[in-house]
């Protein structure tokens, strides 16, 4: 008679452990529910999402923004948030594409999982398809490295226009594409994005936005005497300081013991002598404009005003750093022995009214390694979305300059890759052939979703695209304007190759990661409270609420912090 084996308790009581094939499918379903939320934002005719919490509402169709604002609690679905953020920080555009593509790869893999294929078999095949795709992109992209400056500028403008085509400000894409290219081309060879400033001023129209070839920042706190200062200088000398030009009240933090009341007067006089000595040295160095990170008080403001000078204290560090870069000046931590080489200059300084704000603007800078965009618009939410859109366009232009290769947009490169992968799959033996072909089918989701979001017959569009690509016409994609197909290279719908390479690579790695997880262990201490809302209209997207979300139709999403 066999003895019963005693049970061994490895995890504390109440711990929930799900494992096996059912867990993999559950994780895939969770990710597909997230994809259903963002996929309608893809393309030039994509819809916007309204995400709100107790503090503010955000309207956006930027994939990274939407994914970041959703409070996703499902551990596997959080992977999609990570790849959207990664795509945004690396290339700035394609954040929705990478999430949609990852979801489609998981959808293709789900059928094999249901049939009992091991996830590692699928992962190996997907990585083989990824390797082929990256090599194909490397050899079939169009180089722009040898183009002259005028031709290069046209290419960059077209790349920026393609990016802005799917944004809320697409009606002004020509205006902002030029602005994005001008901003990037004003930078050094290292193309440091921190040197492009964006200032948002509510009011006016989007066309009232303008680019300053230099630096602009909002007027700082005004002290007495500020209005008497001169507000416009031609060829001024600019002194940048990290010095406080203000009388300090030592009596608040220091103790002085006097034996004779007459000793108090020399102490006060010494304090005034110190501040006047600093101010005289600022005047003697020949500067017309004095900017400081630290406060410039009433006495100094009036002192400079009496001498026809302009000053501004408490200038944000980011702005004073960009002023130094543009004007050729250096920030000084003392006013002693100021030499001419540390003083900056520009062609024109003026204080200009922009909407209801006043801005200090430096233009015609001799070094000009920085630029500032002044964004205008009616609603604050609209300006915020314009800022995100312009950031995407600037990042795309920057990457196009750095990597100097482009491909056709509008789903053209995805269709071409899909055709090449299908041909490649026929050379592979075994189960991997089916999975590489599935990878090829998954790539078609981009043109299909672009057509669907525009209200077109996506089946007809894809059939026509497949036919053209099978005939060898490489760059045919979706024509949004005429509900058909078009040669995207000839119609200037261009994208940097890096955007597509990074999107395909990130989507494949995310799919592989999710497929490789076959067990989820939930610690009871970390479980969400029972009263936490699940699914719409609540903000927490959990495994239990996935089925409700997959019904679609979600347009208003509760963001982080919602009750």
Q: Are the C-beta atoms of 513 and 529 separated by less than 8 Å?
A: no
CATH number reported for the structural domain that contains residue 391 in this entry: 3.30.260.10
- Specify the pLDDT at position 107: 93
Q: Give which of 224, 370, 220, 375 is closest to 290, Cα–Cα.
A: 220
Q: Are the C-beta atoms of 311 and 289 separated by less than 8 Å?
A: yes
Per the structure block, which two tokens stand in for 21?
A: 């094939």
Query: Are 456 and 326 members of one domain?
Result: no
| Average pLDDT per consecutive 10 residues, the chain (563 residues; last block may be shorter) | 51 55 86 90 88 83 86 85 88 88 94 91 94 92 84 88 84 89 85 85 86 89 84 91 77 67 76 86 90 90 91 91 89 88 91 89 83 86 87 88 87 92 91 93 93 91 91 87 88 88 93 87 59 43 40 44 44
Q: What's the predicted TM-score (pTM) here?
A: 0.77
Query: Are 164 and 235 members of one domain?
Result: no
Does residue 307 fall inside a structural domain?
yes
Q: Are the C-beta atoms of 34 and 82 separated by less than 8 Å?
A: no
Query: Are 289 and 351 members of one domain?
Result: yes
Select from 367, 389, 418 the last residue of a domain: 367
Does residue 299 fall inside a structural domain?
yes
Query: Are 222 and 343 members of one domain?
Result: yes
Query: Are 335 and 249 members of one domain?
Result: yes
The CA distance from 508 to 420, in Å, is 17
Q: Tally the domains of the chain.
A: 3
Cα dist from 163 to 93, 94, 499, whole Å: 7, 9, 11
Residues 183-232: tens digit of each pLDDT:
888 887 778 888 888 898 888 888 888 888 889 999 888 787 888 888 89
CATH number reported for the structural domain that contains residue 526 in this entry: 1.10.560.10
Q: Is 284 exposed, middle or buried (0-12, 13-18, 19+ CB in 10 A)?
A: exposed
List active site positions: 62, 95-96, 392
Query: Are 219 and 362 members of one domain?
Result: yes
The size of the chain, in residues, is 563
Does residue 464 fall inside a structural domain?
yes
The CA distance from 236 to 45, in Å, is 49
Cα dist from 273 to 249, 266, 310, whole Å: 14, 10, 22
Query: Are 420 and 535 members of one domain?
Result: yes
- Specify the pLDDT at position 503: 92
Does residue 10 fall inside a structural domain?
no
Query: Are 437 and 505 members of one domain?
Result: yes
Q: Are the C-beta atoms of 397 and 180 separated by less than 8 Å?
A: yes
- Specify the pLDDT at position 189: 78
Query: Are 422 and 553 members of one domain?
Result: yes
Residue range(s) defining the domain that contains residue 545: 16-142+408-558
Does residue 4 fall inside a structural domain?
no
- Specify the pLDDT at position 414: 92
Per the structure block, which two tokens stand in for 388?
A: 């995100």
Query: Are 278 and 291 members of one domain?
Result: yes
Select from 403, 425, 459 the last residue of a domain: 403
Residues 71-89: tens digit of each pLDDT:
888 888 888 888 998 888 8
CATH number reported for the structural domain that contains residue 227 in this entry: 3.50.7.10
- Specify the pLDDT at position 544: 41
Q: Is 525 exposed, middle or buried (0-12, 13-18, 19+ CB in 10 A)?
A: exposed
Q: Give which of 469, 399, 418 is closest to 136, Cα–Cα.
A: 418
Query: Are 422 and 515 members of one domain?
Result: yes
Query: Are 224 and 355 members of one domain?
Result: yes
């Amino acid at each position: 008679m066999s003895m019963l084996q005693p049970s061994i308790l490895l995890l504390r009581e109440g711990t929930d452990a799900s494992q096996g094939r059912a867990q993999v499918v559950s994780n895939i379903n969770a990710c597909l529910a997230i994809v259903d939320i963002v996929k309608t934002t893809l393309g030039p005719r994509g819809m916007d999402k309204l995400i709100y919490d107790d503090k503010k509402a955000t309207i956006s169709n930027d994939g990274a923004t939407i994914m970041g604002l959703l409070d996703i609690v499902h551990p596997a679905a959080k992977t999609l948030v990570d790849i959207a953020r990664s795509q945004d920080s690396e290339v700035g555009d394609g954040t929705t594409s990478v999430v949609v593509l990852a979801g489609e790869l998981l959808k293709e893999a789900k059928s094999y999982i249901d049939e009992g294929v091991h996830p590692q078999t699928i992962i190996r095949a997907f990585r083989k398809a990824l390797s082929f795709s990256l090599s194909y992109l490397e050899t079939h992209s169009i180089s722009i490295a040898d183009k002259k400056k005028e031709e290069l500028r046209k290419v960059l403008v077209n790349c920026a226009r393609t990016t802005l085509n799917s944004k809320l400000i697409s009606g002004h894409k020509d205006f902002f594409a030029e602005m994005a290219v001008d901003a990037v081309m004003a930078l050094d060879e290292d193309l440091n994005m921190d040197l492009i400033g964006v200032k948002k001023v509510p009011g006016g129209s989007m066309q009232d936005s303008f680019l300053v070839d230099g630096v602009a920042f909002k007027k700082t706190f005004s002290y007495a005497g500020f209005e008497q200062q001169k507000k416009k200088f031609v060829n001024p000398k600019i002194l940048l300081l990290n010095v406080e030009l203000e009388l300090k009240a030592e009596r608040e933090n220091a103790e002085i013991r006097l034996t004779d009341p007459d000793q108090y007067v020399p102490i006060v006089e010494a304090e005034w002598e110190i501040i006047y000595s600093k101010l005289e040295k600022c005047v003697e160095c020949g500067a017309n404009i004095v900017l400081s990170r630290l406060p410039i008080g009433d006495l100094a403001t009036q002192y400079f005003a009496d001498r026809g000078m302009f000053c501004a204290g408490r200038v944000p560090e980011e702005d004073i750093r960009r002023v130094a870069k543009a004007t050729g000046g250096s920030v000084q931590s003392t006013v002693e022995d100021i030499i001419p080489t540390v003083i900056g200059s520009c062609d024109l300084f003026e204080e200009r009214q922009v909407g209801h704000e006043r801005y200090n603007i430096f233009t015609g800078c001799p070094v000009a390694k920085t630029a500032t965009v002044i964004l205008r618009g009616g609603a604050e939410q609209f300006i915020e979305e314009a800022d995100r859109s312009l950031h995407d366009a600037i990042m795309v232009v920057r990457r196009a300059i750095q990597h100097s290769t482009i491909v056709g947009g509008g789903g053209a490169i995805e269709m071409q890759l899909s055709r090449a992968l299908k041909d490649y799959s026929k050379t592979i033996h075994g189960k991997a052939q089916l999975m590489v072909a599935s990878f090829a089918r998954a790539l078609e989701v981009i043109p299909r979703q672009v057509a669907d979001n525009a209200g077109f017959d996506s089946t007809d569009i894809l059939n026509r695209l497949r036919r053209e690509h099978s005939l060898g016409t490489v760059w045919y994609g979706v024509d949004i304007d005429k509900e058909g197909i078009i040669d995207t290279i000839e119609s200037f719908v261009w994208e940097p190759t890096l955007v597509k390479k990074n999107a395909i690579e990130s989507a494949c790695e995310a799919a592989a990661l999710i497929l490789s997880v076959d067990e989820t262990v939930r610690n009871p201490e970390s479980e969400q409270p029972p009263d936490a809302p699940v699914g719409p209209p609540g903000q927490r997207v959990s495994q239990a609420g996935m089925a409700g979300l997959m019904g679609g139709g979600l347009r208003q999403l509760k963001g982080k912090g919602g009750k």
